[in-house]
Structure formats: structure tokens, C-alpha cells
Structure 1
């Protein structure tokens, strides 16, 4: 335990002896924290969304309206068949098909 206390004491003496080290030790990590916390976001937005509505009821229309109202989805189109929706997905015109 004495050894660890001695090493900590020695390191603090080294830090405060060299005044050029203080900005590197304290300011640089704060800058990194501020910059990187704003850069890293896990929020997914603007998903290209298309759908096939074979039901055509008020419930299915209400579901599509909820997707349209969301800021996470860009509702692009309604496809009449699965083949057309698969082609749109493969071409990158849509990210997801419902």
C-alpha cells in the first residue's frame, strides 16, 4: 500500500513540476469528451420505407399514417406486388418493406 501511495505522490509531483503537462492532462480529455459525445449518436433517422398494403382497411391505413407521421421514416411508395418491392430493396430505393 505504501508503494502505491509513493507512486501516486511521485506522479503528482511530476505533473505539477512541468506546467506544460497540465493542459494536456486536464483540458484535452474534456475537449475529447465534448466533441466525441456530440459526434456519436445511435439514433437512426430517415429510413427509406415502402409498403405493400394488401389489406386496404382503415387499420392498415392508420398504421401507414403512423409511419408517415414519424420523423424516423420517409415513406416512399406503396408497391402492388412483392416482386416490385424486392427489386426496390435490391436497388437501394428502400431500406425496409412492410
Structure 2
């Protein structure tokens, strides 16, 4: 976290680093991994990986500074096994219909 000296904090800018690889002792974080962060930190751009959090929205009871990223696309809800099977059956029926149409042509 970075703070501006002499000014009360109004917003916290978060950046979610995703280097796209496993990091560790033999594969450490490097300058290339940080390029996007450095560029974006100057403007505090909001993207799928970065966002601003208003300190007035901070829960005063917990002072939890780990809010969820509001810009992350929502994942599609999981379908039930019954829905999956019904879709498979419908696709099978459609496939059979197409195969029969092709057979009529030859």
C-alpha cells in the first residue's frame, strides 16, 4: 500500500498481480512481471485487475482491507446434472436429425 503524505486517505487503489506463472525461490517476481503495475499505478486506472475502494465504505468493526474486486467478471452459475443431461439429449436429437438429412442427400 502506498499513502500520500500529508493528505487523508480517501481511496485505496488495489492491483491484483497475475504473472501467469508460479513464482517461488527459483522463479522470483521480476521487472517484467511488474511493468503493468508500475504503468497503471501512475494513473490508478480501473480494470478487471485493478480497482479503487472508498475508505468510507470500510467496515469500522473489522477494518478489513481485503475487499473483493468489483470488476471481476461474474462466473456463470453451475448447471444442475439434470440440466446438463437434458442439453445432451437435445444435442443428440439434433445430431441424429442432421445425420438423417445427410443420408437423404447421398
* TM-score (norm. length: structure 1): 0.23
Larger RCO (CA within 8 A; separation ≥ 6): 1
* TM-score (norm. length: structure 2): 0.22
The structure with the greater share of residues assigned to helix is 1
Could you say which structure has the larger radius of gyration?
1
